[in-house]
Amino acid sequence: MKTFFNDQHPLHHGRHEMFRGKLVPCVEVPSRADFVLQELRARGLGEVASAPEVDLAPIERVHARRYIDFLSTAWNEWVALDPANAELDALPSYWPIRTFRSDVLPASFPARMGLFSYDAGSPITSGTWPAARQGAACAVGAADHLLQGGRSAFVLTRPPGHHAGHDFFGGYCFVNNAAVAAQRLRDGGVARVAVLDIDYHHGNGTQAIFYERGDVFFASVHGDPHTEYPYYLGYADERGAGAGEGCNLNLPLPRGTGVARWREAMAIALQAIARFGADALVVSLGVDTFAGDPIAGFTLQSSDYLQVGDDLGATRLPTMFVFEGGYAVAEVGVNTVNVLEAFKQRAG
Ligand code: SP5
Ligand code: ZN
């Protein structure tokens, strides 16, 4: 399996996130990706390549121009507010909910920061944009690998992407790598693409991007949003709209769910993807379903990820994996590579 590694990822290095009234150390840290890379190499999973830098066109297929403009200038604008800000992460303080306007782009940078975000847990740092942009380049590289006949690929990048929407960041995500890849596959001639999201948290950004589309199926197994982040999306009654009616499947599960029930849910998602008639599969691979994850609530064990990879390999679809969450840093490499290695063994 060919890995597209984002070697720019350490440029994104948040210091703090807002959590229940306090600034606390970020859980989404650079060492996450380094542990996965180390494990990939130790187990000889295959070639590790970096992606050629791409222009913004494939990102603009998914994200709004004014949002990309915001991301690419955000750090400089943050420091321009006050030179002392160079030592602080940028976090939003104001949000335009419901009866506020979102068509007006305020001149104030803090106002724009709120316009383009939905939480205060996703700091922008000096290197957030170059890291996120290069992550999208890796997603494009992996999609192109499938378009050229490759059977599988892995995008090893951070920051993650599945919470980022058409014009907003949140949930540690800025550019939606899985969505960029799915759209790239469509633009390259793949008629029907499925995105399967198995991160602990619902992939609200990916769902929203494709919600009214009949050409990209979105399925997600995740913690029940009644109690779990991102709270405001990911319920079972969200089934797609317009041309996308029936092309969205949410399988929320309660905190404490173990591997048996979790695998049953993934099997239901895979059946729906087969019925849809997908020609290629993008897996948003978060391993924050692990029992030891510090911010999640399922109880999968490291060995269970071998079974997950085997289940995915049985679909026989050209498949690309995109790294999302997983915050038990010491185990994140083993858990991720267990999925990939078992997939490879099953799929050949
Ligand atoms: C990609 C992904 O997995 N995003 C998850 C975003 C979850 N954000 C909300 C969780 C807040 C917990 N962080 C505070 C940790 C204090 N111990
Ligand atoms: Zn997650």
- Sequence-ordered list of residues with C-beta below 8 angstroms from that of 73, at least 6 positions apart, any chain: none
Amino acid letter for position 315: T
For tokens 């799915």, name the residue: 182
Q: In the chain, at which residue ranges do the beta strands (DSSP E only) sit? A: 2-5, 16-19, 22-25, 48-49, 152-156, 193-197, 216-223, 248-253, 280-285, 319-323
Nearest CA to ligand 1 atom 6: 171
Tally of residues, the chain? 348
What are the percentages of helix, strand and coil residues in the chain, rounded to 5?
40, 15, 45
**254 by DSSP, 3-state: which?**
coil
Q: How far is the CA of 314 from the centre of ligand 2 (A)?
A: 24
Q: How far is the CA of 178 from the centre of ligand 1 (A)?
A: 19
The neighbourhood of ligand 2, an ion, using CB within 5 A, equals 199-201, 286, 288, 325
Summarised one tens digit per residue, pLDDT across range 128-181 is 999 999 999 999 999 999 999 999 999 999 999 999 999 999 999 999 999 999
Question: Which of the ligands is closest to the CA of residue 178?
Answer: 1
Nearest CA to ligand 1 atom 12: 295
Q: How far is the CA of 295 from the centre of ligand 1 (A)?
A: 6
Mutate to test the pocket of ligand 1, among 91, 158, 172 (most ligand atoms within 8 A of CB): 172
Average pLDDT of the segment spanning 116-132:
98
**265 by DSSP, 3-state: which?**
helix
Q: What is the pTM of this model?
A: 0.99
Count other Cβ atoms within 10 Å, centred on residue 77. 17
Summarised one tens digit per residue, pLDDT across range 310-346 is 999 999 999 999 999 999 999 999 999 999 999 999 9
Looking at ligand 1, which atom is closest to the CA of residue 296? Answer: 10
- Both structure tokens of 35: 């542990």
226 is catalytic: no
Question: Which of the ligands is closest to the CA of residue 200?
Answer: 2
Chain-centroid distance of CA 101 in Å reads 28
DSSP characters for 11-77? G----EEEETTEEEE-SS-THHHHHHHHHHHHTT-S-EEPPPP--SHHHHTTS-HHHHHHHHHHHHH
Summarised one tens digit per residue, pLDDT across range 184-239 is 999 999 999 999 999 999 999 999 999 999 999 999 999 999 999 999 999 999 99
- Sequence-ordered list of residues with C-beta below 8 angstroms from that of 203, at least 6 positions apart, any chain: 162, 163, 178, 195, 197, 218, 220, 222, 284, 324
Q: How far is the CA of 37 from the centre of ligand 2 (A)?
A: 19
In which element (H, E) is residue 129 found? helix 128-147
Looking at ligand 1, which atom is closest to the CA of residue 19? Answer: 14
The reported pLDDT for the residue numbered 348 is 85
Chain-centroid distance of CA 121 in Å reads 15
Summarised one tens digit per residue, pLDDT across range 78-105 is 999 999 999 999 999 999 999 999 999 9
Chain-centroid distance of CA 79 in Å reads 28
Considering 12, 13, 162, 163, which one is annotated as catalytic?
163
Nearest CA to ligand 1 atom 8: 171
Residue 244: DSSP 8-state:
G
The reported pLDDT for the residue numbered 53 is 82
Ligand 1 lining (C-beta closer than 6 Å)? 17, 19, 24, 27, 121, 160, 163, 171-173, 199, 201, 229, 286, 288, 295, 324-325
- Sequence-ordered list of residues with C-beta below 8 angstroms from that of 141, at least 6 positions apart, any chain: 4, 49, 51, 52, 153, 155
Question: Which of the ligands is closest to the CA of residue 229?
Answer: 1
Nearest CA to ligand 1 atom 2: 325
